[in-house]
Structure 1
Amino acid sequence: MQPGQVTFAGSGPGDPDLLTIKALKALQQADVILHDRLVSDAILQLAGPSASLQDVGKEGFGPQVTQQEICDRMVALAKSGLRVLRLKSGDPAIFARLDEELTACDIAGIDYHVIPGITAASAAVADIGQSLTQRGRNASVRFLTGHDMKGFADHDWAALARAGEVAAIYMGKKSARFIQGRLIMHGADRNTPVTVVENASRADQRVLETTLYTLPDDLADAGFNGPALTLFGLAPRASLAALTDLKLEHA
């Protein structure tokens, strides 16, 4: 990292073993680290001993540092000659407002570069033994965010409601009933599998296996309080294998 520069890096879903080597080097070289709320403590502990750690996180529908404040602080620190690491959870290019912060650097004439990270959807499907795409099932996958309700309302729900479709829904806990209603209204099978993974890849990870019809109630009963990724159209591989064995027994 060069002085007076901003590095944007993805910290991955939380497991420090999933941090890229390039992101690790940036952590160890940074003078100041502006990190999101969801960046795990285990990853922040890898920062250089003299680095200043500054939490600029946002909580959905809760306390947050404004985007303008983040951009202003980031630019000011870089202009003072510091090596600034803007550390985002997951991948910085997925629902992380990267474009707004890159624009702030462009306007201020600040040099920057971007280090990608493993996004939560990739970690979640790996943990349940699934894949986001499958030959003969779905040739595409949708990444949605439940935090942007206006964008949610405008989504092509009829296309997603078709059999075999898959979506990874970020920050979708509070909008679970809205998701259910939109999909069923557009013809989705109520028994479509849905898997919710809380704290994907971390030691306290929890997995909720449910269906579209029971999603809101099951999610409420689970009492998840960490970041959760909703996988629409996917069930854990172990459950599918058990179901196949059961069908063979009764064949």
Structure 2
Amino acid sequence: MTAAHQQSTPGHVYLVGGGPGAWDLITVRGMRALQSAEVILTDHLGPTAELDKLCDTSAKTIIDVSKLPYGKQTAQEKINDLLVEHAHAGAVVARLKGGDPYVFGRGFEEYEHCLRHGIDCEVIPGVTSAVAVPELAGIPLTQRGLVHSFHVVSGHLPPGHPRSRVDWSALARSGGTIVVIMGVRQAGAIAEALIDATLAPTTPCAIVQEGSTEREQVFRCTLGELEETMRNNQVQSPAVYVIGEVAGLGIDQPWG
């Protein structure tokens, strides 16, 4: 029996939030879960590229279950099955996710699947990129006397899509900061919907690409310039953009 099995219940699954990207922004509990795991399911977000700084990867089975935007896709059902398969075989399994497992991470689906199959599952929160990435770029999401709320939304589906649950008109009227994740491709449609719903084209915006890493880039623009700025700078995922008065505050300070 391995040390991991001696310390943990056989068949245990950890859903680990890996944070916004930099390896040292994972929580201590998350790092310990990776160290105790025998099998790690990773994707392209979070600290996957520097996993060896968090645990001895040579002693573990590493399985890539990435879901690349408009690219390679590992079916969610396959991921669910892998968790159960390895846990039923007696392994301690860590499912490493970018950001927080329950913020657009489908973590609850994996949690429910484990419980339905009799697998003990522990969720370890992570630092969500929706908050951390703007913060590390010097952008507050709230500011006393300026804005008292913020809203985090997925931009994966365009405004008006039948499967979208985002009320862009309500967001435009809210007066709060809008943080969009997974929204690079739909930036133009999102900007148009917000402007049509009362937000001024001059509303400040900030785009942060690969936030928290040495490759971080920050671009400032207005809402009316959002799509053009994305295109001119060839912005790609992962990227977060902030819409609202706070996007005009702060000093760009790439993490490093």
Which 5+ residue runs of structure 2 have no aligned equivalent? Answer: 1-7
1:60-75 matches, cutoff 5 A: 60-75=69-84
Q: Which range moves more in the overlay, 165-174 or 132-141? A: 132-141
Q: Distance in 1 between matches of 2:152 and 2:52?
A: 27
Q: Distance in 2 between matches of 1:187 and 1:115?
A: 39
Partner of residue 195 from structure 2, selected from 180, 184, 205: 184
Partner of residue 55 from structure 2, selected from 17, 26, 47: 47
RMSD: 1.8
Q: What's the CA shift string for 1:190-212, capped at 9, x where partnerless?
A: 01011110111101100011110
Q: What's the CA shift string for 1:70-125, capped at 9, x where partnerless?
A: 00111110000000000000111100001111111111010011111111122222
Matched-pair contact (CA < 8 Å) for 2:18–2:96: yes
Distance apart, 1:232 and its partner CA? 1.1
Give the aligned partner of residue 4 of structure 2. Answer: none
Aligned partner of residue 167 in structure 1, secondary structure: strand
Identical-residue share of aligned pairs (%): 36
Q: Distance in 1 between matches of 2:154 and 2:190?
A: 11
Name the aligned partner's letter for residue 2 of structure 1: T
Q: Distance in 2 between matches of 1:141 and 1:73?
A: 36
Give the aligned partner of residue 174 of structure 1. Answer: 185
Distance apart, 1:160 and its partner CA? 1.9
Give the aligned partner of residue 45 of structure 2. Answer: 38
Q: Distance in 2 between matches of 1:138 and 1:15?
A: 28
Q: Which range moves more in the overlay, 185-194 or 139-148? A: 139-148
Matched-pair contact (CA < 8 Å) for 2:101–2:108: no
Q: 1:153 to 1:28 in 2, by over 3 A?
A: closer
Give the aligned partner of residue 195 of structure 1. Answer: 206
Name the aligned partner's letter for residue 59 of structure 1: L
Q: What's the CA shift string for 1:196-233, capped at 9, x where partnerless?
A: 10111101100011110000011011112340001111
1:87-236 matches, cutoff 5 A: 87-149=96-158, 150=161, 153-162=164-173, 164-233=175-244, 234-236=247-249
Which 5+ residue runs of structure 1 have no aligned equivalent? Answer: 240-251
Aligned partner of residue 142 in structure 1, secondary structure: strand
Q: Distance in 2 between matches of 1:78 and 1:45?
A: 25
Normalising by structure 1, report the TM-score: 0.89
Matched-pair contact (CA < 8 Å) for 1:75–1:110: yes
Give the aligned partner of residue 238 of structure 1. Answer: 251
Give the aligned partner of residue 19 of structure 2. Answer: 12
Q: Distance in 2 between matches of 1:200 and 1:44?
A: 20
Aligned partner of residue 15 in structure 2, secondary structure: strand
Q: Distance in 2 between matches of 1:45 and 1:52?
A: 16
Matched-pair contact (CA < 8 Å) for 1:10–1:23: yes
Q: Distance in 1 between matches of 2:53 and 2:237?
A: 20
Give the aligned partner of residue 245 of structure 1. Answer: none
Q: Distance in 2 between matches of 1:19 and 1:93?
A: 15
Distance apart, 1:156 and its partner CA? 2.3
Distance apart, 1:148 and its partner CA? 3.7
